[in-house]
Amino acid sequence: MTHSKVAVVTGASSGIGAACVSALSAAGFHVVCGARRVERLNQVARTAGGDAWPLDVADAASVRAFCEHVPNINLLVNNAGGALGLDRVSDATDEDWQQMFDSNVLGLMRMTRELLPRLEQSGDGHVINIGSIAGREVYAGGSGYNAMKFGVRAITRALRVELLGKPVRVTEIVPGMVETEFSEVRFRGDKSRAAQVYAGLTPLTAGDVADCVVWAATRPAHVNVDEIVVKPLAQASVTLAHRAPG
């Protein structure tokens, strides 16, 4: 297969990012993958036939070094991020909020700022941000992560306004519950607490979200999919899920 389009996926070493790499590659993109865990990243890239370079979106120098490996680009998937803890505002720590801000918000801005000129130059560019229903609805203990994903929504919408008249589409994918390493990271490696998040229901898979990314990315160049909200059938809202007894 000849690859005519180049996609960059951040946070590609696991979960939704890794699934996007394989789905975009299957859809004909040449994918450039970035994340901090290089061994896992290399494995993902090898399987999909893409390239992998170390990337910490929280570090401006790392973002610049990564982007030097990307001369041409059509699609940027800003996926790197996640939540830390489930603390109420009364118990929140500066460190957790700073770390969430660095990856979910500042990292997204840095990657977009660095690659926007090349996306525009492609004549058919696209930025897809991975938001969350936590950027639409709040919950107790969610304030930090809520703030980040409300932020992603605001940036996505402002960017679309700023790019009006330019050949760059802007999309937000807004998932509900997806079973990945997300909850394990949030609960700092506590696997049993993480498993409880998905107990008694069928969550989305990372592949379900990647399907949305690929669908938005493969519409004709004049079609801007503004946002896709996708949740498991068993989830009605951030706080309301139907679980099998036991």
* Residues catalogued as catalytic: 145
Q: Minimal CB distance to ligand NAP: which residue?
A: 15
Q: Which residues bind ligand NAP (CB under 6 A)?
A: 10-17, 35-37, 55-58, 79-82, 103, 107, 130, 132, 175, 177-178, 180-182, 185, 206
CB of 2 to ligand NAP, least distance (A): 28
Q: Which two tokens stand for residue 19?
A: 């699934």
Q: How far is Cα 8 from Cα 240, in angstroms, rounded to an integer? A: 34
In the complex, minimum distance from the CB of residue 185 to ligand NAP, in angstroms, rounded to a whole number? 5
Q: CA of 92: how far to CAs of 83, 131, 185, 194, 223, in Å? A: 13, 22, 17, 20, 41
- The smaller minimum CB distance to ligand NAP, of residues 55 and 116, is found at 55
Q: What is the DSSP code (8-state) at residue 205?
A: P
Location of structure tokens 């979960």: 15
Q: Which is nearer to ligand NAP, 168 or 210 (CB)?
A: 210
CB of 164 to ligand NAP, least distance (A): 26
Within 13 A of 124's CA, how many CA atoms are on the CB side? 11
